[in-house]
Structure 1
Amino acid sequence: MLLRRRFGLLDIFISACAIFLFLLCSILYGTRTENLSLPPLVQEVLPAGRCLCEYSTTFQCDTCLECAASQYPVLPSNATSDEDERWVFQYRRDANNYGLDEDQCQAAFPGLYEDIDRAKKYRGKRKVTEQDLSSFDLTKGMVRAMIFDGELYVLQTFMVDNVNRQKAVGALASIHRSIVTTHYREAIPNIEFVFSVEDLPAQPDKPIWTLARRAQDHNLWLIPDFGFWSWDMPQIGTYSEVATETMQRESIEPWDQKQEKLVWRGKITMAPKLRRALLEAARGKSWSDVGQVRWGDVDFKEQFLGPVDQCNYMFIAHAEGRSYSGSLKYRQLCRSVIVSHKLQWIQHYHYLLLSNGTNQNFVEVERDFSNLDEAMEDLLAHPEKAKRIADNNVEIFRERYLTAAAEACYWRTLFKAWKEISFEPLLYNGVEVGEKHKRTQKRGVRYETFMLYEHQRQMEYPKSE
């Protein structure tokens, strides 16, 4: 009897291990394979992961857009008399003006700074201290930097590969550009900060500058992503270059010549359950040109559609990746209708996304795309509505909130807000203000010098010295 009981317990243990191993292998296969068809059992056990809509975020910022539409004119800071012409943001003249002053920035881009205000209010009277920034080690994709007397210094980096390095260098370049293009360099405050260029914030409970956050990540401060400088990807490059090519394309292929289909290209393994749901919802539909890209395939170029080529379609689908997806800002350059699931990850300008009302600038569907067909049939049945949404998308994003001027304004507003809740940084180690110091005691290296370093030296500064 005792022997039989022991064998029974052993059998149960072995069976449990076998089931666990099977489930694990099924999940690994389901999340890593690029095959469109999955066995039904694998589909059942595939975890929802970031397909859950528990933390989906919807913003209502109609008042921000109304303020932008009826902008109150401001007197330029360099005006010499009351007779000088009062300034109002004009896309053709001001889109690439990195040097707008503070009043112009506030007047031109209402609603752009909502997340900065949120982060500052959450911090309240709890100052970010030097100890706060030193209390954690830098993880993949992080850079510690400082602005002092209007100059940018790199203090510490941790980049494990060249992709990380490129993203970090792009972010640093954008920061530096926003500093050197201001007319009042002395107005840039002395600040010290840590930013991350990783999709997933490794330490969301720390006061770190990041590319995206979830609604519950209260300590994170949002920054424009590296792509606003440049992105070393096929048919992308600098953001302004893509914008120019988009407008050139649409000048010869206007709205009424676009294909009346929904387009999407992407890698499904970046968010398997979410992106597979998109492919499944669009499968076999007359309005669908939705497909994946397998970067390893020999015919990958035939699968791939660059951001400008996607502007040939009236409708462009959007799906998040590991966290946010950096492709959204390129899609918003097109005079097309962006169709997106409910977003979980927030970027710095997402407060301007509106899914209803007269200012609607995109179409929102469920996170599992269960009502995608219904949404597409509605858009196709009401072409005037689709055109209005596409026009709003261009007016709000391409021609205002995703311009170079808006990006520079956001950075400088961030610098000012961060100064209000953080400590006064020191340029020299181990000395008090007013004391004599040696050159070797200076902290970090100027941005201009850092950019001259070899790639490996940039990866883990100053350890690579």
Structure 2
Amino acid sequence: MFAQRPSFRFLATGALVSILTFTFLIFGTSSSRNAASRYILKTNRPGSSSQAHCAQDTSPTLSNSSWEFIAERDALNHGLSDEQCRIAFPKLFVEVDKSVSLKQEAQITYKDLDSREVEDGMVRAVIDKGQLCIVEYAPMPVTASRGRATLNSLHRALMAFPERHLLPSIEFIFTTEDFANDPTGRGPVWAYSKRDADDSVWLMPDFGYWAWPEVPIGPYHEVRRRIAAIDDGETATDGTYSPGLQFQDKKKQLVWRGSLATNPGIRSKLLKSAQGRSWASVRVIDWDDENDIRFNLLPIEDHCRYMFLAHTEGRSFSGRGKYLLNCRSVVISHPLTWREAHHAALIASGPDANYVQVEADFSDLPRKVDFLIDNPQVAQRIAENAVRTFRDRYLTPAAESCYWRYLVRQYASVLDFEPVLFATGRDGKVTPRGMPFETWLLMH
């Protein structure tokens, strides 16, 4: 009898280890029961999904094997199918694919995500069954409109998609600052721009695709309409037609308006290179001086009245870049350090060039502008390429929504967990982690 007791103790110990191992596999490494109830590890079980969701929907699937993107018909369609998105925008998803490739060996865990503190200007959210829920919303003393714009754009991309209920469940954090701090060991974060070395940063569309009231720039679709009216003409509500501005009739000048403070190293060199040139309309704006703003501020669409548009980065990316690329004008830029979603479609040389790249110190700017003025057919070809590439394709509202959904899917592909929105406590009470976006919006 006594000889059997060690065996009994061994079995009891083994059972305890098994229970602990099972708990670890289900809930992860967090020692807090509250933290563990926020997610489940993914399994290979068919139909595995989050334990809770905001809502469900079903829609039919269409075959698009012979479909092609037509800007006049499809540019404002936020609900293109996956196949249509791939056909229309083959270069749009390069940066997301890069981020995925970095996580093939070590997927993102809940602990990784939780290591990224939600600091001022940041949002933590869940997408479950295509529904957006806000988990944490940090103070945004300067960037509040960016946060609301980004969430509205993401929500629009989800709601426009008939098969949103089939989208994977994810939990993510994004920042509304110009860039994300990316020290070693920090968890994943979505941001408007990134450098090549920012391995934990995932690119998302910037807030301007909704609106940018501080500048002021209105709704993106309305800005695009005003830009197209300058370039292509417009028919008024009374039926009268106002012709557009022909490329060769645009002002043969390089235009730029902005502050030196956000990037003095780059922008001061632009000013120096353009100083005293007859083709330069380059002016600094003092955003603290109302008179200076009144005399020097140029509405974004009026940039399109100029033949050449200078583009410079600011603290990170420059939000004006996508607006300039909507113009039938020649964008001239220094080499870009900060990546945006559409940058894979930029071409700087050859017959398909859609912008002109100059040296970082703008030393070759005079020579290249003089060449373009002396060779107007080259300048016009570049401008036309920009319209075809960006205004009529990669910078359309349709492309933005396609990008959002691709980001959701690919980010999910490297998560080893699925979020849980409703946790049941020891007392049996169900506690929601997040607030449905529709409710959150009415409270902010």
The alignment partner of 1:338 has SS state of strand
Structure 1 position 427 matched with structure 2 position 421: yes
Asked if structure 2 preserves the Cα contact closer than 8 Å seen for 1:189 and 1:419, the reply is yes
Structure 2 counterparts to residues 13-412 of structure 1, below 5 A: 77-78=61-62, 86-161=66-141, 163-203=142-182, 205=184, 206-250=187-231, 251=233, 252-297=244-289, 298-412=291-405
Q: Alpha-carbon deviation of 1:204?
A: 5.0
Cα deviations by residue, 1:97-121 (Å, 9 ceiling, x for unpaired): 1111011110110010001111001
SS in 2 for 1:329: helix
Tell me: CA distance 1:418–1:234, structure 2 relative to 1, closer, same or farther (3 Å). Answer: closer
Partner of 1:29: none
TM-score using structure 2 length: 0.80
Q: How far has the Cα of 1:367 moved from its partner?
A: 0.9
Query: C-alpha deviations, 1:334-363, integer Å up to 9, x for none?
Result: 100000001111011111111001210000
Aligned to 2:221, what secondary structure does the other structure show? helix
Contact 1:123/1:219 (8 A) holds in 2: no
Whether the 8 Å CA contact 2:248–2:376 is kept in 1: the answer is: no
Give the Cα–Cα distance (whole angstroms) in 1 for the partners of residues 382 and 427 of structure 2.
Answer: 62
The residue matched to 1:451 in structure 2 has which SS?
A: helix
Q: Secondary structure at the match of 2:386?
A: helix
Residue by residue over 1:296-334, the C-alpha shift from the partner in whole angstroms, topping out at 9 and shown as x without a partner, is: 222421111111111000000001000110110111111
Q: Distance in 2 between matches of 1:428 and 1:212?
A: 33
Q: CA deviation at 1:374?
A: 1.1
What is the TM-score with the length of structure 1 in the denominator?
0.77
SS of 2:182's equivalent? coil
Q: Give SS of 2:422's match.
A: coil
Moved more, 200-209 or 186-195: 200-209
1:140–1:198 Cα contact (<8 Å) kept: no
| Deviation for aligned residue 1:201 | 1.1
3-state DSSP of counterpart to 1:276: helix
Matched position secondary structure for 2:261: helix
- Give, in angstroms, the shift of residue 453 of structure 1: 1.1
Q: One-letter code of the match for 1:98? A: H
Q: CA RMSD in A?
A: 1.7
Q: 1:246 is paired with a residue of what secondary structure?
A: helix
SS of the residue 1:144 aligns to = strand
Deviations 1:157-210 (A, max 9, x none): 22331x311101111111101110001122221100011111121235431111
SS in 2 for 1:260: strand
Q: What CA distance in whole angstroms lies between the structure 2 residues aligned with 1:437 and 1:450? A: 26
Deviation at 1:295, TM superposition (A): 1.7
Alpha-carbon separation, structure 2, partners of 1:259 and 1:204: 45
SS at match of 1:393: helix
Cα distance in 2 for partners of 1:134, 1:307 equals 40
1:103-152 CA distances to partner (integer Å, 9 max, x unpaired)? 11101100100011110011113121111111132223211100112210
| Equivalent residues of 1:428, 1:437 under 8 A apart | no
Q: Which runs of 4+ in 1 moved over 4 A?
A: none
